[in-house]
A and B are shown apart, each in its own frame.
Chain A
């Protein structure tokens, strides 16, 4: 019985190569962009780092959320591959730390040539009445506090869930003490998550980039975007491990469930995306439409429509039929498409504010993205090797083995 995962040399080399590309891109970015005298070049250097670190932090934090949600619902379907979300969740602290460092550097050190923070304009409100009016919430103290609390709690819960799941392996057989402890902590985590990723964190990290504009369902929309790509990430790991001959309890039924999540939450994302768009389009109030004017009719229109086609049309056409959700190739292809699509979605949330027309998807954007992918593969695969891939002694193990979607 081979329940342990050993990192194949190819995966390790790929991840190290990707990290090397990321580091080289970062050095190139410092040389070419950070030291540039053009404001948008320096803004581009920081916003790209902000975009990727925030995106990866949010999609990895989804793994903790899905564990908590399924534990609270006493679902067994996830148990067959529970080690995958656990391993991703246990590495949230890495991405969270990177994101925190980058966000704090932007808030505290970044200034353009006019002495204005063009990424987070609320840092330097000047005599802007709207920004001064929002300053009780949008200020450095609140930003630092919410960021530290959110990243700290995600990191704690991510590691705690994994630790408890591993502790269950050495617990007496059929002992339910840890199970109920996980159950209670899951409820607590959902509360934490609702107050961070589903509300305050996207407001502060993403929405405050265009600080004049606001949308009440923005955080839900950002969460839906992160959730569907987080599920796709879990699915890619499961397919990879299955291809390596691990995870023998995972069957087509479990893949079908993951595919359903990808399909359903792509539609859910569209629902929120459209709800935000339609109300603003219909009311046509200048302070709200400035956001979509820039994206739909301005320089970002190609990304705006690509976003809709990749994240709604493709999943609904390709993933709707039952056989395509049970086919390993289709689901893993769609998972990659969805992760890329939602990366673009975050791109068009973040970039228009600081960069305006000067946006690029070029060597720097792609290099930094590859670097983050490298870090993700490297850290998660290392965590996966540290315990058995099948959660032995989990009281739902039999139920997951006979699971039918």
Chain B
């Protein structure tokens, strides 16, 4: 992952945040992400995020669970170790439905949880840059990715006009990483310099 430069703006009101997000998208700056202390309804539409494909992944995991259960149970009871239980046929499909259902749910649940963690880049023991310590407390924090064509002074000035209560420029790792917090000192050095 690459270390990039971000302009960060903090807002103290949802009602200011929404027009600000719209203005940023209209201006053409690259919106990195918005961090909020709670789930803000409609913010994903305002940011122009596309509908997640997580449920399609969930469907595929579920189908995998169904076929694993049916395949494995039918292999055991019809060819590997056929036993007559209570006068039922070897291929006793109704009796397998509960197990099949459970495995479908299990595969879908575990698979979707892991996929969700991957998509959001969160996982126990994994580090991620925090743009503002109060982004999980009482501020709405918006990060804009900067490049050579977007001078930081101009972007900061623009962010102030949108009603930001705090602004800053930070060098940050954009994704997640697995490791020690020592690297944090490197950022602090970068930001200081």
- B179: interface (CB < 8 Å): no
Looking at the complex, which of A37-45, A205-213, A277-285 is the stretch in contact with chain B?
Answer: A277-285
Contacts of B41 in A (CB 8 A): 404
- B95: interface (CB < 8 Å): yes
Interface size class of B (residues with CB under 8 A): 10 to 19
| Interface 1/0 per residue, B155-175 and A, CB below 8 Å | 000000000000000000000
Q: Are B86 and A282 in contact (CB under 8 A)?
A: yes
Give complex CA distance A404, B51 in Å: 14
Contacts of B30 in A (CB 8 A): none
- A322: interface (CB < 8 Å): yes
Q: Are B97 and A274 in contact (CB under 8 A)?
A: yes
Question: A322-B55, A404-B41, A404-B42 are known contacts. Are A282 and B95 too (CB-CB below 8 A)?
Answer: yes
For the complex formed, measure the closest distance between the CB of A13 and the CB atoms of chain B, giving whole angstroms. Answer: 43
Give complex CA distance A75, B42 in Å: 19
- B94: interface (CB < 8 Å): yes
Contacts of A284 in B (CB 8 A): 86-87
Contacts of A322 in B (CB 8 A): 51, 55
| Interface 1/0 per residue, B48-92 and A, CB below 8 Å | 000100010001000000000000000000000000001110000
**What number of A-B contacts does a CB cutoff of 8 Å give?**
19
Q: Are B94 and A281 in contact (CB under 8 A)?
A: yes
Contacts of B55 in A (CB 8 A): 322
For the complex formed, measure the closest distance between the CB of A318 and the CB atoms of chain B, giving whole angstroms. Answer: 14
Give complex CA distance A278, B86 in Å: 14
Q: Are A278 and B42 in contact (CB under 8 A)?
A: no
Contacts of A274 in B (CB 8 A): 94, 97
Contacts of B42 in A (CB 8 A): 404
| Interface 1/0 per residue, A296-330 and B, CB below 8 Å | 00000000000000000000000010100000000
Contacts of A277 in B (CB 8 A): 94
Interface size class of A (residues with CB under 8 A): under 10
Q: Are A282 and B94 in contact (CB under 8 A)?
A: yes
Q: Are A278 and B94 in contact (CB under 8 A)?
A: yes
Contacts of A320 in B (CB 8 A): 59
Contacts of B87 in A (CB 8 A): 284
Give complex CA distance A150, B18 in Å: 52
Give complex CA distance A320, B108 in Å: 15
Give complex CA distance A320, B58 in Å: 12
Contacts of A282 in B (CB 8 A): 86, 88, 94-95
Q: Pick from A278, A284, A320, A322 the residue with the most CB of B within 10 Å.
A: A278
CB interface residues, B 8-42, toward A, < 8 Å: 41-42
Contacts of B86 in A (CB 8 A): 282, 284
Which residue of chain A lies nearest to B51 when distances are taken between CB atoms in the complex?
A: A322
Give complex CA distance A320, B87 in Å: 37
Contacts of B95 in A (CB 8 A): 278, 282
For the complex formed, measure the closest distance between the CB of A215 and the CB atoms of chain B, giving whole angstroms. Answer: 16
| Interface 1/0 per residue, A156-187 and B, CB below 8 Å | 00000000000000000000000000000000
| Interface 1/0 per residue, A263-304 and B, CB below 8 Å | 000000000001001100110100000000000000000000
Contacts of A281 in B (CB 8 A): 94
| Interface 1/0 per residue, A319-345 and B, CB below 8 Å | 010100000000000000000000000
With contacts A277-B94, A284-B86, A320-B59 known, what are 13 further pairs, Cβ within 8 A?
A: A274-B94, A274-B97, A278-B94, A278-B95, A278-B97, A278-B98, A282-B86, A282-B88, A282-B95, A322-B51, A322-B55, A404-B41, A404-B42
Interface pairs A-B: 9 shortest CB-CB? A278-B94, A281-B94, A282-B95, A404-B41, A274-B97, A278-B97, A277-B94, A284-B87, A278-B95
Q: Which residues of A contact B (CB under 8 A)?
A: 274, 277-278, 281-282, 284, 320, 322, 404
Residue contacts A-B, CB under 8 angstroms, 18 given: A274-B94, A274-B97, A277-B94, A278-B94, A278-B97, A278-B98, A281-B94, A282-B86, A282-B88, A282-B94, A282-B95, A284-B86, A284-B87, A320-B59, A322-B51, A322-B55, A404-B41, A404-B42
